[in-house]
Amino acid sequence: MAGNTQAKSLDPVCGMKVSTASSNLVATHKGTRYYFCAESCQTAFTKNPDKYLKPKGPLSRLLARLAKANEKAFGRTGPSCH
């Protein structure tokens, strides 16, 4: 069984998986490259990268898990970039 070897990265703004090979929406912050699914995500990131790279605390992790459970149960309403 052959696997998909194409490298993927998570868009730090919306969390969508982005192909690093085919995406031309890239920003570099503190020596790390970040890939984006849409120009709106790239623009939001470049305006305030620390907002999207901030480590999550216990409450934020809980809310993220609840949001993921809601998405699974009720479908995704997603950000406007998609």
Residue-wise pLDDT for 41-77, tens only, equals 999 999 999 888 877 778 877 887 888 888 888 876 6
What local confidence, expressed as pLDDT, does residue 82 receive? 61
Question: In this structure, what is the dihedral angle of CA atoms 58, 63, 65, 66, given to the nearest 10 degrees?
Answer: 140
Model pTM score: 0.65
Determine contact, residues 36/26, Cβ cutoff 8 Å: yes
Amino acid at 18: V
